[in-house]
Amino acid sequence: MSSSHLRGVRIRSRGGSPCAWIGKEHEQAEWRRSLLAYYDRYSVAKESSSKQLCARRYLVRGRVQGVGYRYFVERVAAELGLTGYAKNLENGSVEVYAVGAPDRLKELSGYLWKGPRWADVRGVEEQEAPVVHYTGFRIG
């Protein structure tokens, strides 16, 4: 007797115990990769939290709205283990508030100047800010 399970096929003996999984190797490999990426991000965040935390507020000017800039910042900040937010402002710029280790914030600053493919960053103003604890990085 056989039954379908997601994309793979589960083959059972007459007693009902599973004998083999066919077609699941790709899903299992994808799951392992995502799990390893999660632990890598967690270890970066844990490593950064053991250092002194500081906060920066960035005002990014140029063509930074409607080009995926905030989502770009969210991805980079998560990879660097930073917390905070990125939000659009009425004047067409983007405000980024980030909390983390000073070396990680400096690395983020470099990414802010680059931006995603369709962005045209004309300026990044950086200011020290009081530390506010966020659980992750979000888009505001």
> Catalytic residue among 70, 75, 91, 117, which?
70
Burial 67-81 (b: 16+ CB within 10 A, else e): bbbbebbbebbebbb
Question: Is 91 designated active site?
Answer: no
Rounded to an integer, what distance in angstroms lies between the CA atom of residue 93 and that of residue 50? 33
Question: Is 104 designated active site?
Answer: no
The answer to whether 84 and 134 are in contact (CB under 8 A) is yes
> Catalytic residue among 88, 104, 117, 122, which?
88
Catalytic residues: 70, 88
